A and B are shown apart, each in its own frame.
Chain A
């Protein structure tokens, strides 16, 4: 991994162009920007979100154990679900709260959040009630297992294969968890943050343009 890529993973922004110390004279170099962690939201959540959360709490006895966090941000509700309870919660969401459709799963990799590096994010859609919510499930890098929801939402089959392929999250219980985009014998999972973008420097009339991942970055 290049130094710049390592810089990218820092959770704090400082300076410009990857220069630390006095390399920068613009005045911007002294700026410190901490990344804001979006915390749990307090009730009332607003809109139909209260109905959804209350409904789940009523229907699902293990609510307090399974739901780690309820976040409302930019008009979207995210339920952070403990991975051991994912399938149960999914079943209640589908059957009792009418989230009949799962629009797939997307992954995210946060190498700095030790113990919660890998995330699986499921956007859910209720055709009956015209509602949307999102489930977020975390797994550590050294135990990248999350239960599969293919038996609840069959359409997640390919999406889970994609997320396995790109992030290395192993969806336990998936009927055939194989790579879907990359060749079967590929090693590594391309969309993890520790996987380099790659690319070769391009030379033009004597000057060399480095590949995108090695160019200077503004943080």
Chain B
């Protein structure tokens, strides 16, 4: 009997054996035949199929899950607290790191809220808004691709991962071309964008859209109607409309119940009311339906991107108000994104006022009138809301993010209790939680 791996201990609930390895037979011998037996299994936080550092605490009866609880917080980094110690513009750099698979949405929600506080929502240049929409839709595709790819991987299907990451790479290249960064782009800023697209961007993006549309078919063929895939996902992790509403669940999980709730349609922001696209729904309320919604939503996102490309006109990408607009001009040099040398020459050599202005805005930042707002966007996972309070200073007083991953992960228990252990994986994969967003 190896005492290093398992040791009994008396608690108020009876004798508990903690097992972290070793031979199961040894344990069975030591327990003997007790009257009551509950097996509680920790799945995670270091488990490849828990979608990041998620710990699932499962109580099992044979292979059936009788109780499921989530342990979270392993990725808590205090992003909300940190933003209270930086300027409003620096906040973008923090919030983009929350849900690391949808940085553009984090930035957009934050910036829309700050702009609402400033009262400059109507002054954001058309070009900036259009590029925001385009980047968000590209981001939706790349996020859905990761969901489908890793979701497939977690259920034992390896090929969707290869296809998904092939297309995702092209999208990350577009992010890199525009912002200099593949993830955590900090591209959307209060007032507009960090910088404009490079001159040769539009043809490149058109080319990419064409290729992505063609290649997405590969994954569609892999997943839609695939009988093995359906055996793992259809009628699994059921959550109906009433359950979704009670638990505050939004996004593909809600749309899989047949409810066409998409903030882009119901409460449009960033001019989404001017685009033609369909809200994809399913009526199965199961994991398969959620995956199918993601497959078809990517096509809708491509439609929106094409409409953006048709409408893009040259123009400014930052609000005209020089008391708010970020003063630096960035350009992509040989060593990465940095201050444009022409701009530095101009402010250092020709205009003292511009230099003072630059210094004041960069070190001190702008003041935001006191008040509180809530701005929501439809992220790939559901309603992402930024609740921001200002006390009138140069730093946020409080930044809170209503993270769809955090909220939707609550429904794990409702989806999994009574199902098999293997279905827990499918359920969590179909919620598509990103732990960076859950824990913030």
A: which residues have CB within 8 A of B? Answer: 11, 13, 33, 35-36, 38, 73-76, 78, 100-104, 106-109, 121, 123, 125, 127, 130, 132, 134, 153-159, 162, 166, 179-183, 190-191, 197, 212-213, 217-219
* Min CB gap B105→A, angstroms: 16
Nearest CB in chain A to that of B388: its residue: A106
Check B303 for interface membership: any CB of A closer than 8 A.
no
Please give me the 7 A-B residue pairs with the lowest Cβ-Cβ distance, nearest first: A155-B248, A106-B400, A181-B73, A181-B76, A155-B247, A218-B364, A212-B85
A36-B370, A76-B373, A158-B409 given; 20 more Cβ-contact pairs under 8 Å: A35-B391, A73-B371, A74-B116, A75-B116, A101-B248, A103-B407, A106-B398, A109-B398, A123-B402, A127-B259, A130-B267, A153-B246, A155-B246, A155-B407, A156-B248, A166-B80, A181-B73, A191-B398, A197-B81, A213-B85
B: which residues have CB within 8 A of A? Answer: 72-73, 76, 78, 80-82, 84-86, 116-117, 119, 245-249, 259, 261, 266-267, 363-365, 369-374, 376, 383, 385, 387, 389, 391-395, 397-398, 400, 402, 406-407, 409-410, 439-440
Point out the residues of chain A lying under 8 angstroms from B248, CB to CB: 101-104, 153, 155-156
* Min CB gap B185→A, angstroms: 22
Point out the residues of chain B lying under 8 angstroms from A36, CB to CB: 369-370, 392
Task: Report whether A191 and B81 are in contact in the complex, using a CB–CB cutoff of 8 Å.
Answer: yes
A11 to B78, CA, bound (A): 25
Nearest CB in chain A to that of B367: its residue: A33
Task: Report whether A38 and B385 are in contact in the complex, using a CB–CB cutoff of 8 Å.
Answer: no
Task: Report whether A181 and B119 are in contact in the complex, using a CB–CB cutoff of 8 Å.
Answer: no
* Min CB gap B412→A, angstroms: 11
Task: Report whether B261 and A106 are in contact in the complex, using a CB–CB cutoff of 8 Å.
Answer: no
Point out the residues of chain B lying under 8 angstroms from A213, CB to CB: 85
Interface centre among B248, B369, B371, B385 (most CB of A within 10 A): B248
Point out the residues of chain A lying under 8 angstroms from B267, CB to CB: 130, 132
Some 6 contacts from A to B, beta carbons below 8 A apart, are: A38-B371, A73-B371, A102-B248, A108-B389, A159-B406, A197-B78
* Min CB gap B403→A, angstroms: 9
A180 to B410, CA, bound (A): 12
Q: Which of these, A38, A123, A127, contacts B261 with CB under 8 Å?
A: A127
A162 to B389, CA, bound (A): 18
Nearest CB in chain A to that of B383: its residue: A103
A158 to B402, CA, bound (A): 11
Point out the residues of chain A lying under 8 angstroms from B409, CB to CB: 158
Point out the residues of chain A lying under 8 angstroms from B373, CB to CB: 74, 76
